[in-house]
Amino acid sequence: MAGPQRNNSISVIIPTWQRQAQLTNLLHSLGRQLRVPDEVVVVCRDSDTGSIDAVMEWAQSAQPPLPHKVVTVQREGHLPPLIAALDQCTGDIFCLIDDDAIPREDWLYRLEEDFRDPRVGGIGGTVVNHFQGIHAADCGRPRVEIPGKLSWFGRSGNHGPSVANSNLIEADCFIGCNMAFRKVALLNSFDLVLNGGSAISYETDVALNVKRKGFRLFYDPGSIVDHYLEPRKIDSKRGWNKGECFVYAHNLTYICLKHLSWYGKLGFALYFFVGGSWGCPGPATFLLSFLKGCPLSLREHFIPAMKGRFLGVISYLQNQHRVRKSS
């Protein structure tokens, strides 16, 4: 993809919460990048003094020294820190990474090359998940996550075709642990309707908001971060826990009603409201689980999922005017 040769400045954004050791490891890894960031922005709650101290200690020994700032927020949730970081960062490119991840050495170098084309608004990368202390069978067996593409009826599936003479592949379902956007494309793209819980699927909404502005979105397979996950209660193959099941159902419903065409909404109603998935069952999946001998829980899975779906419709109707105005 051809484009001007002007180099973009890069800000690396690190949301964090009381994980000083992981944060310190990540900060030191940024100094080992082939292309070091122009700015590092660590964003945390104002009560998280441990993270603030960790940044100060790192800054005293960082080699090479990197421009950095700490941004604090008071509001709870996953999205307010990102909005605050976007407001405070100075780079042309907004690179987001989790505090418990470590990027490969060419991470920023590749992203800089990817954004040379001014039509590119966002790049999603590969996430290699390393599970810690979950199951013995998981030891030494990392799971790779890659960005996908939202289908016409709201199902997240395989990414699109590759671009000629490029390493890039069309995609719009990014992974928050490893994604980057052109700052000008990202303005006003965070939707606080999705701020509940861990803001599941907000990445897809952000990417589609950027796409609406006329920018192109891609997956770069070589843009890789290693993600060292702490044990969690979520297992999307067997069923989310009650709270996350609700949040996922609410957010996906809101996002698809917001972005899909009228016929896509009809397809989504059949796919997600009637069918559902093992992680977030609809009536069909719930009944099928009994026939297969692995019944899902009515209280933990089915009821939260259906409640989330219907409240997602209500959220869309309440925000319909704002959504249409922004499109």
Confidence bin at 1 (pLDDT 50/70/90): very low
pLDDT value, residue 322: 76
* Nearest-angstrom CA–CA distance, 50 and 269: 45
pLDDT value, residue 112: 96
Tell me if residue 238 falls in helix, strand or coil. Answer: coil
Query: Is 171:147 a contact under the CB 8 Å cutoff?
Result: yes
pLDDT value, residue 292: 87
- Joined tokens for residue 125: 């990368």
pLDDT value, residue 233: 47
* Nearest-angstrom CA–CA distance, 279 and 83: 29
Condensed to tens digits (0 to 9), the pLDDT of residues 238-273 reads: 446 889 999 999 999 999 999 999 999 999 999 999
The residues near 266 (Cβ < 8 Å, ≥ 6 apart) are: none
- Joined tokens for residue 25: 């490891």
Element (H, E) at 267: helix 262-268
Residue 142 predicted with pLDDT over 80: no
pLDDT value, residue 241: 82
* Nearest-angstrom CA–CA distance, 85 and 93: 12
pLDDT value, residue 197: 87
* Nearest-angstrom CA–CA distance, 152 and 196: 26
Query: Is 159:174 a contact under the CB 8 Å cutoff?
Result: no
- The lowest-confidence range among 129-138, 214-223, 292-301 is 129-138
The residues near 25 (Cβ < 8 Å, ≥ 6 apart) are: 102
* Nearest-angstrom CA–CA distance, 269 and 176: 26
Residues 85-113 have a mean pLDDT of 97
pLDDT value, residue 232: 54
Residues 202-214 have a mean pLDDT of 96
* Mean residue pLDDT across the chain: 89
- pTM exceeds 0.85 for this model: yes
Half-sphere exposure of 31 (CA within 13 A, CB side): 14
Residue 229 predicted with pLDDT over 90: no
Condensed to tens digits (0 to 9), the pLDDT of residues 37-85 reads: 999 999 999 999 999 999 999 999 988 999 999 999 999 999 999 999 9
